[in-house]
Amino acid sequence: MPTMFDYDFMRNAFAAATIVAVLAGVVGYFLVLRGQTFAGHALAHVGFTGATGAVLVGISPLWGLVSMTVAAAIGMGFMGEKLAERDVAIGLVLAFALALGLLFLHFFTAYATQATTLLFGNVLSVDVGTIWILLAISAGTLAVLAVISRPLLFASLQPELAEAKGISLRLYGVLFLVLVALTTAECVQIVGVLLVFALMVGPAAAAQRLTHSVAWGVPTAGLLALLEAWLGITLAFYTDWPTSFWITTLSVAVYLVSLLSSWIGSRGQALLSLRSDTI
């Protein structure tokens, strides 16, 4: 009986998922730390317009995604705090982005498959050429993140102090959102526009519950995302259910387990300290 690695599409799927999951976990860790998870969500929606627009004019949806999300990230970064107070405006812009994407798809013949692929992802259809592009974007994004990680961390956790020490909050805010945009564009290849949270936020949030320092949290987030993606694809292969369903389910499950474990951890500590108090 053939194993799943006998199929080209499965090997490609694992390669793509590996590249994207590690990136999503690591970038997602900083996203959760900065309390900007909504930005990831927003960028994915805007990316949908870019992807469908690209399909309409006959170029690869990945490039449409990348250019649109990066442009939106720069715009959001420069608006900064002003954006946070305008949730109605943002909500409407996001709805409009999806609607516009829908219109673009309307003009396209292979409407239904393209729409589902973009909205929910289809890692089983990734080709070798795409894998190389994903690898290049991923490597570049991680390299830039490594270079800015120290001031980014400072600016994220102690913004006023960081500013006083000469760090430009705006510069790092914009730079980081561009990295998030690239990560979002990659995630869409695996889990689609609507489920980006599963790879970017789920593992990172769980990692933050399970670890006590950034040095452990970042690799844990990457590792969790990787395991969820691998296991998700494997389960999809054997059950024939959608990959994105499995990855999202695993992401939610791992997050719930992390909640439970940190709850038990703090209860345990409370019990211990109670005992040492009474002794």
Chain residues in the site for another protein (CB under 8 A): 35, 146-151, 153-154, 156-167, 208-209, 211-215, 262, 266
Minimum separation from the CB atom of position 240 to another protein (A): 39
* Complex with another protein: residue 59 or 271, whichever CB lies closer: 271
Least distance to another protein from the beta carbon of 244, Å?
29
Kindly report the three-state secondary structure assignment for every residue of the chain.
CCCHHHCHHHHHHHHHHHHHHHHHHHHHHHHHHCCCHHHHHHHHHHHHHHHHHHHHHCCCHHHHHHHHHHHHHHHHHHHCHHHHCCHHHHHHHHHHHHHHHHHHHHCCCCHHHHHHHHHHCCHHHCCHHHHHHHHHHHHHHHHHHHHHHHHHHHHHHCHHHHHHCCCCHHHHHHHHHHHHHHHHHHHHHHHCHHHHHHHHCHHHHHHHHHCCCHHHHHHHHHHHHHHHHHHHHHHHHHHCCCHHHHHHHHHHHHHHHHHHHHHHHHHHHHHHHHHHHHC
Q: Which is nearer to another protein, 113 or 158 (CB)?
A: 158
Tell me the closest approach of the beta carbon of residue 157 to another protein, in angstroms: 5
Nearer to another protein, 34 or 45 (CB): 34
Q: Which is nearer to another protein, 239 or 266 (CB)?
A: 266
**Smallest distance from the beta carbon of 181 to another protein, in angstroms?**
21
